Amino acid sequence: MKLWSTKNKNYQLLSKRVELDMPPKIIEKVDFSFKIDESIISQDEAQAMYNQMRQITKDFRTQAMTLYVQSAAREYEILSDEIKSIVERFPQENDDGFDAEPGYAAFKQYHELRQKRMKLEIEQSFYFLSEQRTAARRRTTELATLKRKMENCFLRKKVSPGRPLQQFIAELDILLQTLHNAPIIDKNINKDRLFGNEMNQNQSVINSISSQASQS
């Protein structure tokens, strides 16, 4: 029964993730990318290659998520059939002096209560997923606005920030995701260390953009 409940929850959550376009970390963390030497290849050609990398990653995630959901659905289906078979075979009538009715009633009540509990747990998980999706959309909008403003600043100076700006936005996105997903206590304790580490990683990106501006 416990295994059935777990598989049921897994399947329901995976289906919800597909609906919200939020693959689990095991799939989301897969990112096919490598650095292209833009001192040899033109920026436009390099950008086209980066776009192909993103498309390959997107296609892989879609196929992987499809297979993941199919396997979860199959596991849930098999266990559901087994549970149904057990319930149907459970003795409901008295036999050889054995009073089966109380046992059947207790088992049925236990199964129904476990289903109700699992439904509440799934609904709670759905709520948290929806909250994460809302935060992700807001973050995407804000980062797109920031990127557009930064691009305009460089274009006014006739400088194309190119790949470094994209890397900076990507790192900032990771930082915001980390802060949003961290527990409140961890946020208060570790925010200075987190900001310090991320800003150190981003400094090389910022320096690269600044270098392009100074050379113009």
* Segment 94-117, tens digit of pLDDT: 555 556 666 667 777 777 787 788
Contact status, residue 33 vs residue 57, Cβ threshold 8 Å: yes
Q: Do 10 and 61 belong to one domain?
A: yes
Range of the domain at 36: 1-89
> Is 175 contained in some domain?
yes
> Is 207 contained in some domain?
no
Strand partners, 95: 98
Q: Do 71 and 105 belong to one domain?
A: no
Q: Which of 52, 68, 89 is the last residue of a domain?
A: 89
Distance (Å, whole) CA 212 – CA 73: 52
* Segment 175-213, tens digit of pLDDT: 777 776 655 444 444 545 544 555 555 555 555 555 555
Q: Give the count of domains, the chain.
A: 2
DSSP, collapsed to helix, strand or coil, labels residue 95 as strand
Which run of H or of E encompasses 32? none
Q: Do 48 and 21 belong to one domain?
A: yes
Q: Do 73 and 26 belong to one domain?
A: yes
Q: Do 83 and 109 belong to one domain?
A: no
Q: Can you give the pTM of this predicted structure?
A: 0.56
41-45, 73-77, 96-100: least confidently modelled range: 96-100
